[in-house]
Amino acid sequence: MPYSSILDVESLNKTFKVKAGDVEAVKDVTFRARKGEVSVIVGPSGSGKTTFLYLVGSLEKPDSGEINVFGDDICRSDADLIKYRQEHVGFVFQFFNLIPALTVLENAVLPMDICGKPKPNEKQRAAELLEKMGIDRRLQKSKPNRISGGEKQRVAIARALANDPDIILADEPTGNLDAETGKTVVDILVGLAKNDGKCIVIVTHDESILNAADWAYRMIDGTLTGIELPSEGETEE
Ligand SMILES: Nc1ncnc2c1ncn2[C@@H]1O[C@H](COP(=O)(O)OP(=O)(O)O)[C@@H](O)[C@H]1O
Ligand SMILES: [Mg+2]
């Protein structure tokens, strides 16, 4: 392979059929992402960002196109989508999507419990991931409604890491956070790329996240185009 991508998306299309007519949410999108890199896709509300991310995470099925992960097309009918979702991708959402009845620690253990390949020391692994995200043992015993938004998102990131995925897909990860807390969360995602070699894909309407990008794209009406980033050393106004 000339380009050592983890994720290699070719000519992806998704149209929703609604009463008012067809909505072409994702149009002929081609996209690649490698290990250790942060890709940021910006675009206004309704431009197709979430749909694109859900297709890549196999939460939605495309009408046509390929999603190659380590060279295997997950859209092929024999692809093991459950295994793909459980072992290769971690999701981070705008509204955190933590389970309110479970403690923070139990939330972070859950993906390991349900993956069908239980790990030894699941609790300890979850506790370590949470600690790495700055969630101490005391907070780990709390229910999600007792912690702040920034803490919730850090718990969600720990949960996303539970099965040690290669790819983290983040949908508006700062959408519910103040600017400073949002920046901390983005810094964590960047660290996961730089230090742990994760392939990070962030979709957002927040253009300030472009500062964190190795590769930047704009989504408009379902179409993805690359954005030129200022080169290394160039100062930003
Ligand atoms: N399940 C669905 N059924 C019908 N239309 C949908 C569905 N999901 C998304 N859409 C439409 O697809 C377009 C893209 O939506 P979305 O991917 O959520 O955009 P974004 O995340 O950029 O705000 C919008 O017009 C939206 O209304
Ligand atoms: Mg969205």
Q: Which atom of ligand 1 lies at the shortest distance from residue 51's CA?
A: 17
Q: Which atom of ligand 1 lies at the shortest distance from residue 18's CA?
A: 4
Residues in the chain: 237
Looking at the CA of 94, which ligand is closest? Answer: 2
The angle that helices 149-161 and 179-196 make with each other, rounded to 10 degrees, is 20
Residue nearest to atom 9 of ligand 1 (CA): 51
Residue nearest to atom 27 of ligand 1 (CA): 46
Q: DSSP character for 170?
A: E
For tokens 């938004």, name the residue.
149
Pairing of strands 64-69, 167-171: unpaired
Q: Which residues have beta carbons under 5 A from ligand 2 (an ion)? A: 49-50
pLDDT for 198 equals 97
- The answer to whether residue 236 scores a pLDDT higher than 60 is no
Q: Give the dihedral sign, CA 82/86/89/91.
A: positive
- The answer to whether residue 104 scores a pLDDT higher than 80 is yes
Domain ranges for the chain: 7-227
Name the residue type at position 66: E
| CA angle 36–76–69, rounded 5-degree value | 5
pLDDT for 235 equals 57
pLDDT tens digits, residue range 164-182?
A: 999 999 999 999 999 999 9
- The answer to whether residue 2 scores a pLDDT higher than 50 is no
Pairing of strands 215-220, 223-227: antiparallel
Between 18-22, 46-50, 91-95, 231-235, the lowest mean confidence (pLDDT) is in: 231-235
Superfamily per CATH, domain 7-227: P-loop containing nucleotide triphosphate hydrolases (3.40.50.300)
Distance 123 CA to ligand 1 centre (A): 37
pLDDT tens digits, residue range 186-202?
A: 999 999 999 999 999 99
pTM, two decimal places: 0.94
